[in-house]
Amino acid sequence: MSEPREPLDAQVADDLIRAASAISNALVSVFEGINQIRDRVIEVRRDVVERRKLFTPQHLAGLRPLILEQLKRRPFLDGLGILAASDLFADRTRYLEWWRQDINDVIPLWLNFDPTSVDIYDYLEMEWFTRAQRDNAKTVFGPYVDYTGADHYVLTMTVPVVDEVFIGVVGADLRMSLFEAEILPVLYDLDWEVVLVNSERRVVSTNSQRWTVGSRLATIPEVSEGGFVAIAEIGTDSDWVLAAVKLVE
């Protein structure tokens, strides 16, 4: 007598959970690098305060080797660095220590912080900054086209830096063309047509021609609606869901 087969939806759910875990692990890896930089910022500032010295941008610049090290470990990152709170330094309201990488080089990011300029890059108003500050929590924002910063289709991940006071955020931009290459093998290993969707209903990635990356779904996928038979949450503060429709023909 043959073994009873697991119900179709249960099989899909199990597969989705495994795939979601792999995608979550990729995000966790980025947060691990960000957290190392955050912890170092706090450590350096505490040392400066204990010595009754003034904490300056030069202290953040001293973290450059750690930033470059974390970038090298994760080639799908477009950029990585620290963005200071508006009141961290007495002589300026905005400061960042941010480095970008491409195939050939790693370079500092220079942005316009002139408050009188019409094209000021005001990261203090960016959602990935304000949300991290307001909620004191990790954020995963996007993907989106960062015309004024990275100038690529990116996903921004941030963590707040808090040590009694809000110091700023440490963040990373993931270049989606490279990050998607990291997670696509996980999706193509499935026997199901799946779509990875963010909280804005935007398609992050998929293994099917049924959807287009960057487009928006009418609603967030739910089981038994729109043909979806199983859903798995990615977690890691991403608000992403992985949804499956049916077996690939």
- Are 36 and 117 in the same domain? yes
90 Cβ contact list (under 8 Å, min separation 6): 54
User: Which pLDDT does position 247 carry in this prediction?
Assistant: 56
Residues 204 and 86 in one domain: no
Residue 13: its pLDDT value, please? 86
Question: Is pLDDT above 60 for 206?
Answer: yes
Kindly tell me if the per-residue pLDDT of 2 is higher than 50: no
Q: What is the pLDDT of residues 142-187, one digit of tens each?
A: 998 877 655 689 999 999 999 989 999 999 999 999 999 999 999 9
Structurally, how many domains does the chain consist of? 2
Tell whether 2 is covered by a domain.
no
Of 125, 143, 177, which residue is a domain's last?
177
Is 82 found in the same domain as 141?
Answer: yes
Residue 58 in any domain: the answer is yes
Predicted TM-score (pTM) of this structure = 0.89
Provide the residue type at 122 as one letter: D
Phi, psi dihedral angles at 163 (to 5 degrees): -145, 80
What number of other Cβ atoms are within 10 A of residue 107's Cβ?
Answer: 11
CB 41 within 8 A of CB 63: yes
Report pLDDT for 158.
97
User: String of b and e for 36-46 (b: at least 16 CB within 10 Å)?
Assistant: ebbebbeeebe
- Residues 104, 50 share a domain: yes
111 plus 71 within the same structural domain: yes
Residue 236's identity, in one-letter code, is T
Asked if residue 143 has a cis previous peptide bond (ω within 30° of 0), the answer is yes
Model pLDDT for residues 35-89, shown as the tens digit of each residue: 999 999 999 999 999 999 999 999 999 999 999 999 999 989 999 999 999 999 9
Residues 32 and 148 in one domain: yes
Average pLDDT, the chain: 90
Helix ranges, 8-114 (H): 8-50, 57-61, 64-73
Residue 40 has a pLDDT of 97
Mean local confidence (pLDDT), 85-98: 93
Instruction: Please identify which residue in the block is written with the tokens 């904490």.
Output: 55
pLDDT of residue 227: 86
Alpha-carbon distance 178 to 204, whole Å? 12
CATH number, position 88: 3.30.450.20
